[in-house]
Structure 1
């Protein structure tokens, strides 16, 4: 709001100072940068993050493999719902079970893993993801999650750019105000001793 108000300093006024005009130019420049540069920065930043996440998702899909797991037994404790940063959703991990599965090379693997089955029993099967060594891993990042993270990153870059522009504007205006006060102090120093004296410059 102050930035927009600063534009009014352009109006013709016999009391307008040079710093007032400079402040108006600073305000106009800040408004243009906020309107034009900030969206561009956000878009470019989001695009870079999106490209990086796409590459991450591609690598994860290459390194992680679906496999079928066989329930051996249930564990006594139930896994709590968790937010999966790679899928951008809250997943109910369900019950943790002791299961066995096959690694990509065909060797047997086993361990305690979460299952989406509501009431798993010994002998039930479900799908899990495993890495190249056959160890249990989370599902690879999906396209939707990548878009969400890229959009949030773009918004963050835009917000950071807007904050930087506003910070620079405030710093420049602060310097202009300081210069204005310095000139006022010098003028007062020159005029002050004679203030109120009869015939002193009047």
Structure 2
């Protein structure tokens, strides 16, 4: 940016090339976009993501209900879990066969996860069920949704700033290549007579 300011101050100098002015304007536009557009994009993305996630929170809390399950026995761990969410849950929880009463009063039995490492028959723990009484994952909470929305906004803002800076560097690179090409052309014209006696050099 300091280079761009220096070029702008010397814009009327005969040594200031047109490409120097273009580079200064590009730098100014990049700074303006990073200062204004990147935060705006981040805020918009974070707001939209937050609205979507909080809508999901409301829906999940409407459709999922807590229930008390009773351990029947420990369940053998499966060889592999294709779902990454199930894999992460299995790493920190224990699989058990349990009985529970659903929100509508129906009784169910199945294999679920619990947080205790050494469950015993008769132990009680909380699970979440859907409208049919099937065991489901715990609904998303508002704090987690807000954290995810903030991260999405920060990521979008940073990505926008990175794209602007990448575009600026690309333009500067193209301007530099053009300068080199013009210098080569000028040198090719003056080169054959350079330093010769009587050549006017």
TM over 0.5: yes
**What is residue 129 of structure 1 aligned with on the other side?**
128
Q: Report the count of equivalent residues.
A: 190
Shift of 1:163: 1.1
1:75-114 equivalent positions in 2, closer than 5 A = 75=75, 93-114=92-113
- Aligned in 2, Cα 1:117/1:198: closer, same or farther, shift over 3 Å? closer
Shift of 1:128: 0.8
SS at match of 2:112: strand
TM-score by length of 2: 0.83
**What is residue 152 of structure 1 aligned with on the other side?**
151
**What is residue 5 of structure 1 aligned with on the other side?**
3
Q: Distance in 2 between matches of 1:52 and 1:4?
A: 42
Q: Does 1:172 find its partner at 2:165?
A: no
Give unmatched runs, 5+ long, in structure 1.
78-83
**What is residue 80 of structure 1 aligned with on the other side?**
none
Structure with more helix by fraction: 2
Q: Distance in 2 between matches of 1:182 and 1:165?
A: 26
Shift of 1:129: 0.1
Cα deviations by residue, 1:68-111 (Å, 9 ceiling, x for unpaired): 1122223477xxxxxx98xxxx9995543221112333322111
SS at match of 1:167: helix
SS at match of 2:128: strand
Residues 90, 113 of structure 2: 8 Å contact kept: no
SS at match of 1:147: helix
Structure with more strand by fraction: 1
Residues 68, 100 of structure 2: 8 Å contact kept: yes
**What is residue 160 of structure 2 aligned with on the other side?**
161
TM-score by length of 1: 0.82
**What is residue 142 of structure 2 aligned with on the other side?**
143
SS at match of 1:191: helix
Residues 41, 157 of structure 1: 8 Å contact kept: yes
**What is residue 38 of structure 1 aligned with on the other side?**
38
SS at match of 1:110: strand
Residues 4, 27 of structure 1: 8 Å contact kept: no
Q: Distance in 1 between matches of 2:90 and 2:38?
A: 35
Give unmatched runs, 5+ long, in structure 2.
78-83
